[in-house]
Amino acid sequence: MIDVIAIVGPTASGKTALSLELAKRFNGEIINGDSMQVYRGMSIGTAKISIEEMQGVPHHLLDIKEPEESFSVAEYQGLVRSKIEEIQSRGKLPILVGGSGLYVQAVLFDYRFTDGQVDEKVRAALYEELEQFGPQHMHDKLMAMDPATDIHRNNTRRVIRALEILESGDQQADRSLALSPIYNEVIIGLDIDRDVLYQRINERVDVMLEQGLLDEVAALRDRGVRDTQSIQAIGYRELYGFLEGTVDFGEAVSQLKQNSRKYAKRQFTYFKNKLPIFWIDAIADLEKNIQEIEAFMQEKDRARRIEIIAVKNKD
């Protein structure tokens, strides 16, 4: 049987609606796969699902950290794997939902962190990439791999060091397209026309502002949240700039929309390069997508059973 379903896709692609329907269809419980939705007091800017929107489906690993606290991929990996076991013990299907590609990858595959040990070939390649494309490119690359990073874009040495550890860890496990899986997983990706997606992102930002995003950001600032990992999130760092007088409101909103669109593009790049995904059309009929997913799950489950039988016969 399928152990875990993961639903990935860029911001505003429709992951929540799909995850709820799959959870109801397959007796599932949903695990947060977004690195910023772990923080309390950051609901509007992270598009966190509300209690009413959950429709009675259990959700896990939301609001587990204060905004002042740090959060790492390694910590997330341990928390989610424990949560997967807990959900399975109740006879339910874990459904991991989010847009943080590295976080999903670290949970589902044999992704081992290096504890500071760096592959010298990785280091050399990164510095070569830095020389060719510049510091902003390297920070964008880090943000795509670890959106929760608190490393400032101007601290190039730390950016490179973080990339060294992440990419060396990736290489220690397996440098192929898909690392060695530790579950019989299905990863569903939501594909969507870029122009449609960017329009959705712009509209979502407008809705967030109407819902009180500026007040949410101001409340964090008023409680003294400064220079933390949490406020590096898109939507927070731009409005902090407005509240601190470095940009006017119109420019802050423009930056927020632009950075959200750039982040969506990086998400697509990561998903398509790093994860073995079954892609569906995000704007297609929901029932049609569910049927396609169910057929794919059945096919993968049959292939897995055949593989297990072949191994047993070989032994």
Q: Average of pLDDT values for 272-288?
A: 92
Q: Does the annotation place 12 within a ligand binding site?
A: yes
**pLDDT (0 to 100) of residue 134:** 80
State the CATH class of domain 4-110+174-314. Answer: alpha beta
Q: Is the pLDDT of residue 142 over 90?
A: no
Cα distance between residue 148 and residue 203, in whole Å: 24
**pLDDT (0 to 100) of residue 230:** 87
Q: What are 200-255's pLDDT values in tens digits?
A: 999 999 999 999 999 999 999 999 998 887 888 899 999 999 999 999 999 999 99
Q: Does the annotation place 10 within a ligand binding site?
A: yes
Confidence of residue 127 (pLDDT cuts 50, 70, 90): confident
107: closest CA among 53, 176, 183, 195?
Answer: 183
Q: Does the annotation place 13 within a ligand binding site?
A: yes
Q: Is the pLDDT of residue 303 over 80?
A: no
Half-sphere exposure (Cβ direction) of 125: Cα atoms closer than 13 Å: 9
Q: Which residues pair with 111 in a beta bridge?
A: none
Q: Does the annotation place 14 within a ligand binding site?
A: yes
97-106, 114-123, 150-159, 194-203: least confident range: 114-123
**pLDDT (0 to 100) of residue 174:** 38
Q: Where in the chain is the domain with CATH 3.40.50.300?
A: 4-110+174-314
Cα distance between residue 265 and residue 192, in whole Å: 11
Average pLDDT, the chain: 87
CATH number of 112-173: 1.10.20.140
Q: Where in the chain is the domain with CATH 1.10.20.140?
A: 112-173
Which of the pair, 150 or 180, is modelled with greater confidence? 180
What is the pTM for the complete model shown? 0.82
18: closest CA among 6, 33, 34?
Answer: 6
Q: Does the annotation place 235 within a ligand binding site?
A: no
Cα distance between residue 35 and residue 98, in whole Å: 8
**pLDDT (0 to 100) of residue 116:** 54
Confidence of residue 160 (pLDDT cuts 50, 70, 90): confident
Q: Does the annotation place 169 within a ligand binding site?
A: no
